[in-house]
Chain A
Amino acid sequence: MEYTFIIVLLPFLSFLFLGLAGKKLAPRVAGYVGTAVLAISAALSYLAAWQYFTTAKVGGVFKPWSMDFRWLNFTKDLHIDLGMLIDPIAVMMLVVITTVSLMVHLYSIGYMHGERGFQRYYAFLSLFTFSMLGLVVATNIFQMYIFWELVGVSSYLLIGFYYTKPEAVAASKKAFIVTRFADLGFLVGILLLSFYTGTFSFERLTSGDASLFNEAGGVTFMGCSVIGWALALIFIGGAGKSAMFPLHVWLPDAMEGPTPVSALIHAATMVVAGVYLVARLFPVYYLEAPDVLVLIAIVGAVTSLYAAVVACVQTDIKRVLAFSTISQIGFMMVGLGVSGLEGHEGLGYMASMFHLFTHAMFKALLFLGAGAIIHAVHSNEMGHMGGLRKYLPVTRFTFLIACLAIAGIPPFSGFFSKDEILAATFHFSPLLGAVMSFTAGLTAFYMFRLYYRIFWNKETRHDHAPHEAPRSMTIPLVFLAFVTLVAGPIPFGKFVTSDRAEYLIHLDWTVAGASVAIALVAIALATLLYRKESAIPDRLATSFKGLYTAAYKRFYLDELYLFVTKKIIFNGISRPIAWFDRHVVDGTMNGFATLSQRVSCAIRGFQSGQVQQYVMVILLGTLFITVLVLFI
């Protein structure tokens, strides 16, 4: 399995090449190079997946394969390794990342055609792909942290790709700062966890060896075990990247970046890093801090309900998709939170990973579809669309498939994964299950609202007739739609489970039937309201004005953040510190500077620049010393 190393390395080389030599290449060539490199990476990941899933099974359990080399050697016990850990979830993520990334690379050739900085764009895409691949194959939590920050940086670079647009710059800063803030929790969590367990390695942490945690056994802080705190802090890091409530504020704004970037980073790969992190450490969570898992489930449920409500009223199509992403990641978190570890208890884990897989495909498809629509009408606003079904047939059908998948209609892939999450949630707590079912209904509603507002409803007048996207953009759409169509019946339980043993999926038809019924009702409602132009939505909006405005303004969370940061933190903390810095710290230094300037002004008279004067002084001095020596 050594060749898996190449999967990670290739995008990095491509980044270096495009970053250094990009200016000399024709834009088209840069695009082809990036895409070709990714194609090789993707092919190797498929090979790795096939080889791993067919050969690595020992005694009914998948055996992880890993290689490590020591990177930073601090002391005998404390060292940081870099390496490759190949186990079922890592392999699954390799496949997801390389597939979506390849599709996005291909799509961007058409979408970004003629943009300034085309080569730079491809260099950043490669950098992101490299970091994300490095993240999923990390053998230890520290390596993961390094790549975690790298994906943060590449996300920042790509959101701010249109750096002449002030909104894009603000959005990239916001994304970086919010996730950085969460990463602080992650770092503290890593330090706590490794301090008490004495290891960074995932394999050792998740081996189920309880003796690792002995040392921390008696240590508590504010009534919770210190390991619980560490895991909760690590989850905060994950929540920041995965846009969990209340750290989700950066994701909707991140839509200022180019649309393919949103598809790759803010829908399919980077935002599920938090889910992946929890899944990676799942045995630790389950055995050492089950309370934190409950917290994760609750945070996931709140997030997904909140985001679904907000998504129902947004008018920018990318914002709708962004909130939908947040909501779906909430589903995955709930799946992990309600899961058990062994055998049949592990349904939630398996379902969450399955949903991660299917969601990556259909959400990337939705975003790429949205990109094709934006490409056609040059606007993000629903108001400028409507009646596009005649002009964009391919986009329309692939978009419809993705909508059906996310709404949970069989036999599309989303149905299977989401249904299993719902089943696991009902098994854990019927109340939580009901909330999630309601959210699933909302999902179906807002997705079809989006679909009808774009492709049906009132036709808007366009200056020139919208046209279907070029081939390089429609091929990825068709490919992802195909995956969405066929991925559902994959026996996922055979491959990725919490205990790495086989899990037999059997559908719980009560839950499945109920959720399909809810989804159908929601779709019917959306059809009623939005298929034809009608006054009902506006009337509803007026009669529930308070709720509508609140949801449209995302329940004022951004305003709350601004209030806390601008009014309280800036005025209460930053300004006094700034005053101290300006007057006390700078004042001292300025004082030194002024003093030495005064002194030098006073003595500069000696330096007349007249050499003869100097010689005179030297001469007199010499004579004086001579006289001194001779006569005294």
Chain B
Amino acid sequence: MEKLHLEYYLVVSIIMFFAGIYGFITRRNLLAILISIELILNSVDINFALFNRFLFPGQLEGFFFTLFAIGVSACETAVAIAIIINIYRNIRNIQVKNLEQLKD
């Protein structure tokens, strides 16, 4: 079996990243946007693990950082969902085009 190269992983990560960005920009629903953000974060996590594995084998900083980022993103998701629930309670809607009050 041919050895898996770094680039293969990177391609996956890039696809995930841009899929996330695309979703973030085009989705109209706050939950879908949140999911897109998770995609972006996970692609970055893959990069961390990847570079640690290939460039600095025997060291663990990248793995730890990945775990750390997963923890932080879990918290962030919790906060974001709380905000979304509150928005829903206020305007009965979580469509992002309706959220313009803060600009004034």
CB within 8 Å of B: which residues of A? 607-612, 615-616, 619
Contacts and interface: CB of A to CB of B under 8 A. Distances in A.
A610 B24 contact: no
Nearest to A619: B21
A619 B24 CA distance: 11
Contacts of A609: 99-103
Contact of B21 (A607, A610, A611, A615): A615
B97 interface: yes
B25 A610 contact: no
A interface: dominant SS? helix
A608 B103 CA distance: 7
B96 interface: yes
A113 B101 CA distance: 59
A608 B102 CA distance: 9
Contacts of B97: 610
Nearest to B28: A612
Contacts of B96: 610-612
Interface residues of B, number: 12
A379 B24 CA distance: 84
A619 B40 CA distance: 13
Nearest to B27: A612
B interface: dominant SS? helix
A616 B102 CA distance: 19
Contacts of A616: 25
Nearest to A616: B25
Interface in B69-104: 96-97, 99-103
Contacts, number: 23
Nearest to B104: A609
Nearest to B96: A612
20 contacts: A607-B103, A608-B100, A608-B103, A609-B99, A609-B100, A609-B101, A609-B102, A609-B103, A610-B97, A610-B100, A611-B96, A612-B24, A612-B25, A612-B26, A612-B33, A612-B96, A615-B21, A615-B24, A615-B25, A616-B25
A609 B102 CA distance: 7
Contacts of B33: 612
A507 to B, nearest CB: 88
B34 to A, nearest CB: 12
Contacts of A612: 24-26, 33, 96
A124 B33 CA distance: 67
A90 B24 CA distance: 85
Contacts of B99: 609
Contacts of A619: 21, 25
Interface string B29-45: 00001000000000000
Interface centre among A608, A610, A612, A616, by most B CB within 10 Å? A612
A615 B23 CA distance: 11
Nearest to A613: B25
Contacts of B25: 612, 615-616, 619
Contacts of A610: 96-97, 100
Contacts of B26: 612
A611 B25 CA distance: 9
A53 B103 CA distance: 80
Contacts of A607: 103
Given A608-B100, A609-B103, A612-B25, 6 more contacts: A608-B103, A609-B101, A610-B100, A612-B26, A616-B25, A619-B25
